[in-house]
Amino acid sequence: MLRTNFKNSVIQSFYDKFSDFSDTKNYLFIGKVTEWENDNAPPTTLDSLKEELDAWKNMLVCKRISSNDIVFVIRRIDWTYNTKYTQYDDSSDLYSETTPVNFYVLTSDNNVYKCISNNNGGKSQYSPIGTSTEEIITQDGYIWKYLYSIRPELQDFITEEYIPVEYLDELSYTDQRSLQLDVEQDAKANKNGSISNIKVTQIGSSYPFAIDYILGDNPERVDHLVQMNIPVGGTTIKFNTNSNISRIDNIYNDNYVVYIYSGTGSGQVRTITDYDGSTGIATVDEGFTDAVTTSSYYKILPKIQITGNGTGAIAIPVINPLTKLINSISVIDGGQNYKDVTVEIKTSKTIESEKTKARAIISPFNGHGSSALIELGCKDVMILTKFDKEQIQNLKFYNDYRQVGIIQDISVTGESQSSQTYTFDIENINSTTSMVLSGNYSSFLSIIQANPTLIVKQGSDDNLGQAQGTYSSFDTTTNTLILKTVNGKFLNYNPNATSATVYPLVIEDYPVLGTDTVYSNIVVEKSAPYDYYTNTTFIQDYSILGQNSLSTAKVVSWYPTFFGTDGKLVVKNINGKFIESYYNDAGTLISGENIIGISSVSTTEGVLGFTTDKVGIIKNVAKTEVIQGNDIFRATTTLTLTRPTGNTDLFTASDFAEDDNIKQLTTGAEGVVVGWVVSYDGTYGNLILSSTTGSFSVNPNYKIQKLSGSVYTTQEAVVSDINLPEVDRYSGKIIYIENIRPVVRGDDQTEEIKIIIGLWGK
């Protein structure tokens, strides 16, 4: 069986073919002006050679598909009042194609939420709202996880059946994607392998000794108040003996927990290990981490024991206040890193049928929200291409069409060279600074030698010119400290300067995270920077090479920063895809690839020659210009018709009609009329043809014939000029064909074509 992960992976690979960095050029084509046998019920497209050849022959135009014309899409599921939604379950097929599962929703504010719990199969009464990284609990008991918001730029990709979903591959965003990025990073950092829900699989006997508030009562009942203050670390708690608490000694031992559900120290759960029924005093297994006071409210509940290869999960049962049966379980803390887990609801019962049983539902790898694209089972992309009014007018024909498709890597004439440029943020990895130290620096030196990843700075955080770097080496003979990955320039000590301009050395985040240690008794006698970026590090029209991707590009311009530790490199003519910095699935920042050299010369075999020096790391890649020039190309042939010698009759609009079949005498070349455009004075006309066969010839003796009924009749028209298609027929690979009902065109409309491509089936 093909898993959804496989389909997702394949569709991502297909999506990458439309990237600005891809070597593949993709085009949408339209064609087929003649009628189907039944225009209201087009024939099913066949995966046959004849179907492909016919598509080539019937083709009208091809339009370049840009990276902005394609998005990932998933099935649209609108949140609707009083509807039951399926909660996420790690043991269910959430991506069934035969029985679709509604486990996420789109709300009216274009936010997408995943259903974590449906409150024991209840109906949703309240739409989820908000963009918090934490789970959202609505008044109906549903638990939702915010995943992402559809930004305005993608509104056109929303249909009645599909909505867009995005894959984030940059380190920061300034639009709605920043919210999705926050969710992804939080999930990877804090919710990897968490328990998202615990489902009761068997309702056993009642728990008569459980203490909960009675249905209809105020939850914060006076008789559920803790009877004495408990300090941090305390392990003794006194319950109110005026409540319906049990008077039996040790009745709660090991099988029950105390849950502080409201007031000071709320949220804490502790196992009762000893209980005195006469005093209502219990001992718990672990000291309270937050103080509990007499303003705190408690519950005594059956213990949910969670065991597995993760840590930190805590859950409590939800007890029916009338029957004292456990109907559901509430997860207080999902913990982390669970892949295998068991749940036991502690009880003194020994008969299996009397035990309440449950199983844990584990979140996806890296947690809920770590990748909406994967979690929502994306296996489709939508391609949306528009023919605007100006483009339609330039084509000079308005015939309808009945076929659309996608073709790759065609040969075309008149396609402009891409003027697309990209800006690379480059970090200097070679820059170092040597500093001759004096003064009492022994403590400072011992710390950074033992912890070489700590950051060494100079000056205070409010100094905008603050320099910083990491330890490389220290020469005890010359007292010279070498720092690498330097940002900024360290300053020499000036004995004549005021104290305000003498910046001490600083170790960041030592010994406590967030604390800087200042060493004001260290003097930098002499500092010297090496290998800093200059204006000539990258030279216009030289080429660069990516170390890992082996991608190449040509330098347009270079702007180093003032300190020479990084800069912005503008390039063009990219071949391949450079690798920028990114966060992996575990939430770890992975550095981009190195640029390993530059060159302006070629070898005898035409391969660029590069140095072996690593010039810098690519932190970010941004598109800075769009493709200029023509992106729509004719697949039709245009014949310029004139009257034969001696014939002065003027052409009229009625001489040829759309879909007429025409033939040229002698050559036998044929075609179907797409459009007929007569000159303003009627002395000539342009006949636009599709489905051409044979070769038309410019010859004053070869007249044009038009099919009338079943017989061709000769017209008083000859070919004076031929404008061949811009698309070289059969030059590309057709990857998609769809037969559709006729689309009627006009000179005042914009046509929008949407195509869904996906992987379906087992």
Match 């392998």 to its residue by tokens.
Answer: 193
Euclidean distance between the first and final Cα of the chain, in Å?
Answer: 5
Q: Are 650 and 683 in contact (CB under 8 A)?
A: yes
Coil vs helix vs strand at 395: helix
Along the chain (762 residues), what's the average pLDDT of each consecutive run of 10 residues?
81 88 88 94 94 95 91 97 96 90 97 95 96 94 96 94 92 89 90 92 93 64 87 95 89 96 94 96 96 94 95 93 89 92 93 94 92 94 84 75 94 64 84 87 88 81 65 91 83 63 73 70 84 84 87 87 81 85 73 81 50 77 59 92 94 95 96 94 94 95 92 95 93 94 78 84 60
Cα 61 to chain center, whole Å? 32
Please indicate, yes or no, whether the overall pTM of this predicted structure exceeds 0.85.
Answer: no
Neighbours of 612 (CB within 10 A): 7
Question: How much is the pLDDT for 463?
Answer: 47
Pull the structure tokens for residue 675.
């459009």
User: Which amino acid makes up residue 127?
Assistant: S
Residue 743 and residue 94: Cα distance in Å, rounded? Answer: 37
CA dihedral 492, 493, 499, 505 (to 10 degrees): 70
Give the DSSP letter string of 12-50.
HHHHHTTSTT-S--EEEEEE--SPPSSTTSPPPPP-SHH
Pull the structure tokens for residue 274.
């000893």
Q: Report the run of H or E that residue 179 belongs to, with start and end.
A: helix 177-190
Residue 393 and residue 454: Cα distance in Å, rounded? Answer: 64
Backbone angles phi, psi at 42, to 5 degrees: -60, 150
Closest CA to 62 of 636, 747, 686: 636
Please, which residues bridge with residue 146 across strands?
113
Please, which residues bridge with residue 621 across strands?
424
Question: How much is the pLDDT for 417?
Answer: 47
Q: Own/partner pairs for 456-461, CB < 8 Å, 24+ apart?
A: 456/483, 456/505, 456/506, 456/507, 456/508, 457/505, 457/506, 457/507, 457/508, 457/516, 458/488, 458/490, 458/491, 458/503, 458/504, 458/505, 458/506, 458/524, 459/503, 459/504, 459/506, 460/503, 460/506, 461/516
Please, which residues bridge with residue 123 across strands?
none
Pull the structure tokens for residue 314.
């805590």
Q: Report the run of H or E that residue 53 belongs to, with start and end.
A: helix 49-58
Question: How much is the pLDDT for 671?
Answer: 96
Q: Where are the beta strands (DSSP E) in 121-169?
A: 136-137, 143-149, 162-165
Question: How much is the pLDDT for 549?
Answer: 86
Q: Where are the beta strands (DSSP E) in 579-667?
A: 582-583, 589-590, 594-599, 616-623, 632-634, 637-642, 661-664
Closest CA to 725 of 639, 627, 628: 639
Question: How much is the pLDDT for 548?
Answer: 87
Coil vs helix vs strand at 444: helix
Closest CA to 689 of 118, 67, 59, 267: 59
Backbone angles phi, psi at 56, to 5 degrees: -60, -45
User: Which amino acid makes up residue 569?
Assistant: L
Question: How much is the pLDDT for 464?
Answer: 44
Neighbours of 198 (CB within 10 A): 25
Question: How much is the pLDDT for 368?
Answer: 94
- Listed in sequence order, the residues at least 6 apart from 759 whose beta carbon sits closer than 8 Å to its beta carbon are 2, 7, 10, 11, 379, 380
Backbone angles phi, psi at 223, to 5 degrees: -75, 0
Cis amide linkage into residue 511, ω under 30° from 0: yes
Residue 586 and residue 54: Cα distance in Å, rounded? Answer: 49
Coil vs helix vs strand at 373: helix
Residue 368 and residue 115: Cα distance in Å, rounded? Answer: 10
Q: How many residues does the chain have?
A: 762
- Listed in sequence order, the residues at least 6 apart from 349 whose beta carbon sits closer than 8 Å to its beta carbon are 204, 205, 355
Q: Are 220 and 262 in contact (CB under 8 A)?
A: yes
Residue 717 burial (C-beta neighbours within 10 Å; 0-12, 13-18, 19+): buried
The CA distances from residue 658 to 373, 483, 689, 706, 710, in Å, are 46, 76, 9, 12, 17
Pull the structure tokens for residue 96.
């069934």
Closest CA to 183 of 442, 375, 418, 467: 375
